[in-house]
Amino acid sequence: MCNAQGNLVSQRKGWGRSQTTVPKISRHQKEIAIQRGDLQRLKKAFRKATEVEKPALTEIRDNLRERIKFLRRAECHRRDRKRQTKERVDFTKNPFEYLSKLLGDKRSEELKATKEQVEEHQVHSDPRREDSLEEMEELIKPAEPTIPFGAEEPSWQEVKHVLKKARGKSAPGPNGIPYSVQVLRKAQTTTLEATEGSMEEELPR
């Protein structure tokens, strides 16, 4: 009696039958479906429209296409975030199992070639690698420099030119002195040392 009542209740409630799960549709997918329907109806209206109405319908169509493109991009980002979250959870749950699934099963291969065959087999080699190449006339030869390279200390005019480009409201350093003042003092010291050195060389000994 109890079994009969239980079977009757399960049949009415549908407990014994397998319930099919309907995939959940996101908000972006719903809006994309609505926008696609509007776009199809707009195409039909465009065929029947007059020449005066077509420019306005074209503008509406372009706006709908941009909106659909934006929604599809947002949906792709949502799927990527969901996939990344799932993979992150799987990795933190069991890193070794995650890596084994990612890299695949272990494969055992057997090398059938002998050691001598492997050594004789030259793939990345050039028999003429030691030969010297001849000069090619097609190569571009740059002209000799006309101005010698200046390796001396910067002059006072160059320092002043750089300081003019620097902002006057630069923040001071740890010592409380602004950047422009530090550069100016350094330039004055360098110029003074260079001048004294040249004067010492000119003085007779």
Per-residue pLDDT of 103-156, as tens digits, reads 776 666 777 888 888 777 767 777 788 888 888 877 888 888 888 887 888 888
Given this model, what pLDDT does residue 54 score? 87
47-66 tens-digit pLDDT = 888 888 888 889 988 999 99
Q: How far is CA 201 from the centre of its chain?
A: 58
Enumerate residues 6+ apart whose C-beta is below 8 A from 191: 155, 156, 159
The first and second tokens of residue 17, run together, are 């039958």
Q: Which helix (H) or strand (E) holds 19?
A: none
Q: How far is CA 169 from the centre of its chain?
A: 36
Domain locations in the chain as residue ranges? 25-103, 156-165+176-200
Three-state secondary-structure class, residue 203: coil
Q: How far is it, in rounded angstroms, from Cα 82 to Cα 78?
A: 6
Given this model, what pLDDT does residue 104 score? 73
Average pLDDT, the chain: 77
Q: How confident is the model at residue 9 (pLDDT cuts 50, 70, 90)?
A: low
CA angle 31, 36, 40 (to 5 degrees): 150
Q: How far is it, in rounded angstroms, from Cα 87 to Cα 99?
A: 11
DSSP 8-class letter at 26: P
CA angle 168, 169, 171 (to 5 degrees): 125
Residue 200 has pLDDT above 60, yes or no: no
Q: How far is it, in rounded angstroms, from Cα 96 to Cα 99?
A: 5
pTM above 0.85, yes or no: no
* 71 class by beta-carbon count within 10 Å (0-12 exposed, 13-18 middle, 19+ buried): buried
Instruction: Answer yes or no: are the C-beta atoms of 61 and 39 closer than 8 Å.
Output: yes
The radius of gyration of the chain's CA atoms, rounded to the nearest angstrom, is 40
Q: How far is it, in rounded angstroms, from Cα 174 to Cα 176?
A: 5
Given this model, what pLDDT does residue 187 score? 61
Q: How confident is the model at residue 81 (pLDDT cuts 50, 70, 90)?
A: very high
Residue 204 has pLDDT above 60, yes or no: no
Given this model, what pLDDT does residue 151 score? 80
Burial 28-48 (b: 16+ CB within 10 A, else e): beeebeebeeeeeeeeeeeee
The first and second tokens of residue 115, run together, are 């050691």
Q: How confident is the model at residue 73 (pLDDT cuts 50, 70, 90)?
A: very high
